[in-house]
Amino acid sequence: MEPLRWVRALTLGRLPRGIPINEAWEQWLDSYRTEGFFKAMGRFYAGGIAKRRLSRHSDQAGDPLFVPTKELAAFLRRPAPKATQMLRPHYLLIADLGLQQCTKYRVTQKAELIRRLGWTVQIVDWQDSSEALSSLQVATEILFYRVPGVPSILGLIAEAKRLGLKPRWEIDDLLFSKILYRRNGNLATLSYHERQGLYHLADLYLRALRACGRGMASTEALAAEMRKVGIEDVLVLENALDTQTLKVAETLLANPAPRNDDRIWVCYGSGSRAHDMDFKIAETGLIAAMKAEPRLNLLIIGPLKISPLFAQFGSRIQRRNELSYAAYLEELAKADIAIAPLEDTLFNDCKSNIKFLEAAILELPSICSPTDTYHRVIQSGDNGYLACTAEEWRDMVLALASDAQLRRHIGLKARETALALYAPDRILTQQAAPIFGEPPAYAHKAPRVLQVNIFMAPRSFGGATIVVEALLKPLAKAGFENSVMTTRPVLDALPDGALRYRVLDTDVFSIVAGRNAATDNLAIARQIERWIDAWDAELVHFHAIQEMGVGMARICQQRGVPYVISLHDCWWLSESLFITRDDGQYHLEKNEVPLAPGESTRAYYLNERRKVMRQALAGAAAILSPSEEHKGLYVRNGVPSDRILINRNGFTWPSRPKAKRPPGSKLRFGFVGGIGFVKGYDLIRKALERTKRDDWELVLVDNTLNLGFPSIDTSEWLVKGTIRTVPAYTQSGLDDFYDQVDVLLFPSQWRESYGLTVREALSRDVWVISTAPGGQAEEIVDGVNGSLIPIIDDPAPLQAAIEAILDQKSRFDSYVNPNKGSLPSYEDQAQELVTLYNRILGRTA
């Protein structure tokens, strides 16, 4: 299909991976010039292939924990409710942090202003896409600074909109218009390839700006250019003074550097290599001034190419490498005059006046080019100078060099202007407050409980998941607000961060589990901390959390958030969910795992795992077991009996009587456990292959069909009866499924914690053949409502039980379970949890 994909894409004016042809052509030309024809063609073709396999976690390509169905992928991209009322007010800045000065003035300075308004603020580097995606899920406001419209950023912008946020894109230079950018004379000093890269980056900036649809600029001129490209909603927040700048300046003014000569220093700071043409504006005047005044010296901070004519001044020209901001101010404070020459271009009119501010706060006089922002703050001859011609640059430098009192006067007036217009308090009240505002009031009336489980709707997989989903509604009716933290599959279009969605009237925070960290998953521990803070969880209830890790419990301990553990399986005792060795010891009876030859590393790991698990269990506010049998397993393995409470899992009771079995029909067996050995799949096959009878039918539930692939193949079963395979049922389809079943087979090879399907069957007048002991057998009375067989890997007992039932199949024409009254419900279970939650939280019901 690859050629057809190419043909279709080209007719639409793009490559198969979605890049427009004209953009791909520019990329090809750049590659051709740098790498040659053949490599360029190779990149062009490889870039066009539409990859359909998972680009990450490819070793788990068949694992439903990672791979989504098309329906599930579409579900996760559905719009989520806006987080304003649900989450704590929180501002997220996704930013390019590569340029020190830009980061200071447009990121950290802004964060300081927003925090002073009462918000919490997070700054994320745009290249850390997984962290950015996760942070988006808990943000109530989002701002993108100077990020290019590459696929990862466009995906984040789309995700922000899915979450009901209104993203705004910000920049502090005219970098989003390639046409206007080309008029910047400084680019002539760069190589061809560097210029082409910047032009391509301009296109990407424009793409990101348009994707957001709202802008923020550092100057009025820059805002006007944003509006010209079609962005109507543009705000202006100027670069200004901040706490760091003021503190450093106060220290430097209080402790001036000693002067032991009469030299006069002129200082120019260059933030990047793209300022050579700007400096040429002042070069002729500076050279003339330095010739006329021998005391004049020039200090250049940062990268800059200067005229060879400056060589005549020898050591009077000094350079400093790029410095930290504090070190830069320290060097600037040693100077007598600051200069800021700029070409007369629209590009420079869009720049801010920070060079004036940095000098002014140090009480230094500045000579600047009369671009828009400098013209707005400098009254030439009063608080600074504006110079256009070489003569003006020469004369103003000489005037300041010859008169210390004039330098002092101009410097003090400059500082007065800077503080009056750009002090943090003024910027906060005049500019930041109208833009960002104070965070909205945040409160929730109901106590909040975070339910944690490895799966959650729409991936309703496993008994624990069904229990968690079913408890949400009765707990909400009882006055608790719930959210769920769960795992999600990998989506190729998004990085492996968190995704927030809503299902069953509940907010869900889903994350990619990852691999090889199931015991103590540090990445997921960080994620639960994020959600606890954002959602303000007061209590956490851990259910089945294999692959998610016990590190989440440690986070709860550190944050002082109480947590409850439900023991759905054996994960807290063993790395095996289902312990099948029925010898009463269950691997961990003794304090240490005994060493076998060559297993010292393995044994060390198991012992360390045991310590981690015991620490988490010890810190729980309550430990719950769904059955007495399962509690006994944990008690035999060292958990104090008085620490474990019984909270029997409910189930979905029938909504109607069971449909009558067709008289004289075959006896219908059902099995819901999947193909794993532990649930008895192989045992069922062997037992049915041994029986010589054909008056039966087996209905097998393939529980992975709903995850997108089949797991059951009975084509090689050598049986005389009939086998049907059906997809897993939903809770609303329980009655319909059990109408097809007379006898449920439950030959589990471990002592089940509860056995959900056993309860579902018993309540619907379905006989159960089950192994015992185990929680699954606690509601079965042998010969009354079911048949009990031993937990052994031998099909003979199961075969005997099946054949005995076949001999009396007529009894099932009108069979009714006489012991249904003792079965629990979800309402019963929820009421016990309500009492427990209230006790832990110190509430009165």
Model pLDDT for residues 366-383, shown as the tens digit of each residue: 999 999 999 999 999 999
- Predicted confidence band at 536 (pLDDT cuts at 50, 70, 90)? very high
pLDDT at 277 over 90: no
Dihedral, CA of residue 319, residue 324, residue 328 and residue 331, to nearest 10: -70
The highest-confidence range among 9-18, 239-248, 266-275, 628-637, by mean pLDDT, is 239-248
Q: Where are the beta strands (DSSP E) in 285-387?
A: 296-301, 317-320, 337-340, 366-368, 385-386
Residue 98 lies in a domain: yes
> H helices then E strands: how many in the chain?
31, 26
Based on the fold, state whether residues 200 and 311 are members of the same structural domain: no
CATH assignment of the domain containing 752: 3.40.50.2000
With 50 as the cut, is the pLDDT of residue 514 above it?
yes
Rounded mean pLDDT of the chain? 89
Q: Percent of the chain at pLDDT above 70?
A: 88
309 near 280, Cβ under 8 Å? no
Same-domain check for residues 94 and 123: yes
The CATH number assigned to the domain holding 110 equals 3.40.50.2300
Any domain includes 58: no
Q: Is the pLDDT of residue 737 over 60?
A: yes
**What is the distance between the alpha carbons of residues 252 and 366, in angstroms, rounded to a whole number?**
18
505, 590: one domain: yes
Length of the chain measured in residues: 845
User: Do residues 641 and 659 make contact, with C-beta atoms less than 8 angstroms apart?
Assistant: no
The answer on pLDDT for 28 being more than 80 is no
Q: Clarify whether residues 478 and 584 are in a common domain.
A: yes
Whether 663 has a pLDDT exceeding 70, the answer reads: yes
Phi and psi dihedrals of 224, rounded to 5?
-65, -35
Residue 545 · residue 536 · CB < 8 Å: no
- Locate 833 and state its tokens: 């949890």
Among 211, 236, 261, identify where a domain stops.
Answer: 236
In a domain, 440, yes or no: no
- Characterize the bridge pairing of strands 366-368 and 385-386: parallel
Residue 589: pLDDT band with limits 50, 70, 90: very low
Q: How far apart are the C-alpha atoms of 835 and 845, rounded to whole Å?
A: 7
Same domain, 247 and 231: no
Q: Say if residue 288 is in the same domain as residue 376.
A: yes
Whether the per-residue pLDDT at 309 is higher than 80: the answer is yes
Which residues in 523-557 are b (16+ Cβ under 10 Å) and which e?
bbbebbbbbbebbbbbbbbbbbbbbbbbbbbbbbe
Encode pLDDT of 459-504 as tens digits: 988 889 999 999 999 999 999 999 999 999 999 889 999 999 999 9
Domain total in the chain: 5
Helix (H) or strand (E) run with residue 333 in it: helix 325-333
Query: What pTM was estimated for this model as a whole?
Result: 0.84
Which pLDDT value is given to residue 298?
97
Say if CB 464 and CB 568 are below 8 A apart. yes
Examine residue 613 and state whether it is found in any structural domain, yes or no: yes
Q: What is the 3-state secondary structure (H, E, C) of 538-607?
A: CEEEECCCCCCCCHHHHHHHHHCCCEEEECCCCCCCCCCCCCCCCCCCCCCCCCCCCCCCCCHHHHHHHH
Average pLDDT over residues 384-391: 97
Cα dihedral sign, 403-404-405-411: positive
Same domain for 108 and 31? no
Sheet containing 214-217, strands listed edge to edge, beginning at the edge strand earlier in sequence: 120-125, 90-95, 141-145, 168-171, 214-217, 233-236
Q: Which two tokens stand for residue 430?
A: 């005049």
Residues 713 and 810 reside in one and the same domain: yes
The CA distance from 474 to 754, in Å, is 21
Residue type, 314: G
| Full domain range(s) for residue 328 | 243-422
CB 475, CB 834: distance < 8 Å: yes
Do 511 and 485 form a contact (C-beta atoms < 8 A)?
yes
Q: Model confidence at 521, in pLDDT bands (50, 70, 90)? A: confident
Beta strands in 304-370, from DSSP E residues, in sequence order: 317-320, 337-340, 366-368
* Structural contact between residues 88 and 120, judged by C-beta atoms closer than 8 angstroms: yes
Q: Are residues 121 and 263 in the same domain?
A: no
> What gap in Å lies between CA 252 and CA 478, rounded to an integer?
62
Please identify, among 215, 236, 257, the residue that sits at the C-terminal boundary of a domain: 236
118 and 31 belong to one structural domain: no
Asked whether residue 505 is domain-assigned, the answer is yes
Could you say which DSSP state residue 753 is in?
A: S
Please indicate, yes or no, whether residues 183 and 292 belong to a single structural domain of this protein.
no
Does 144 lie in the same domain as 43? no
Mean pLDDT calculated for residue range 315-328:
92
Confidence of residue 731 (pLDDT cuts 50, 70, 90): confident
Please report whether residue 82 resides in a domain.
no
Last residue of a domain, one of 422, 440, 457: 422
Model pLDDT for residues 78-120, shown as the tens digit of each residue = 999 888 889 999 999 999 999 888 999 999 999 999 999 999 9
Instruction: Specify if 78 maps to a domain.
Output: no
Is residue 434 a part of any domain in this protein?
no
Per-residue confidence (pLDDT) for residue 41, from 0 to 100:
62
Q: Which of 21-25, 468-472, 562-566, 814-818 has the lowest mean pLDDT?
A: 21-25
Question: How confident is the model at residue 578, as a pLDDT?
Answer: 79
pLDDT at 519 over 90: no
Residue 328 · residue 244 · CB < 8 Å: no
